[in-house]
Amino acid sequence: NIRYKAKRLDEAKREFKQALSIEHTYADASLMLARCYLKQKENPKALKVLRQAVKSAPGNDQLRDALEKVEANAGIESEQES
């Protein structure tokens, strides 16, 4: 997304949210929205987005890996491991 690359994160977040409102299983939009939140130090929001994405697409390894990484950085045990 050009806005993400240009560090226009609020605009990028709006676009990713809009994409997810149309297709909630759009993994790339979930990943990019989570990245925007992480760049703005909004880790709880990033976790929420990734958890919802994994529920929507449980077979997506990229989403699960991203969630595990964010949880590890936040000191949270992965729900799959508990």
CA 72 vs CA 2, 11, 25, 75: distances in Å: 29, 28, 24, 5
CB count in 10 Å sphere of residue 67? 26
Q: pLDDT averaged over the chain?
A: 89
CB count in 10 Å sphere of residue 60? 17
Q: Give the pLDDT confidence of 46-68 residue by residue, as tens digits.
A: 999 999 999 999 999 999 999 99
Split at pLDDT 50, 70, 90, the class of 1 is low
For residue 78, the model assigns a pLDDT of: 54
**CA–CA distance, 77 with 32 (Å, rounded to integer):** 23
